[in-house]
Amino acid sequence: MDISGKIIQFLQLQTGQGKNGTWKKQEFILETGDQYPKKVCIAVWGDKIDMGSFKTGDLVDVSFDVESREYNGRWYTDVKAWKMGKKGSGGAAPDNNSSYNDVQGTTFQASSAGDDDLPF
């Protein structure tokens, strides 16, 4: 899945030691540019994405997976990024000349008179 928006906050880097070695997780908050903006916490595990090249306020395209797991009768959901790029720089999703406030997936094309078969 893909999402576009503005990075509004980076959370503290988390590291630890697991059975497979050392791990690190960087989470950030992304705000969508929809009519009713949503905030999404997205996690980047390991060194798959160079998070040092992004800063608060950047407009980005993020490709991610959603995964839920059960622990002691409760369900936990993770949004894990696997690809990320600055908007308009060949990132995760194509740039359709849209701005931050455009509704995603909406495109308009003007047509000249006489191009259609409509009676009005």
- d(Cα 71, Cα 110) in Å, to the nearest integer? 53
pLDDT digits (tens, 9 = 90+) for 63-102: 999 999 999 999 999 999 999 999 876 544 443 444 444 4
pTM passes above 0.75: no
**CA atoms of 66 and 63, how far apart (whole Å):** 10
N-term to C-term CA, the chain: 40
Write the pLDDT tens digit of every residue in 101-120: 443 433 333 444 455 555 54
CATH topology of domain 2-86: OB fold (Dihydrolipoamide Acetyltransferase, E2P) (2.40.50)
Q: Which two tokens stand for residue 62?
A: 């993020």
Tokens 């906050």, located at residue: 9
Q: Where are the alpha helices (DSSP H) in the chain?
A: none
pLDDT digits (tens, 9 = 90+) for 40-63: 999 999 988 999 999 999 999 999
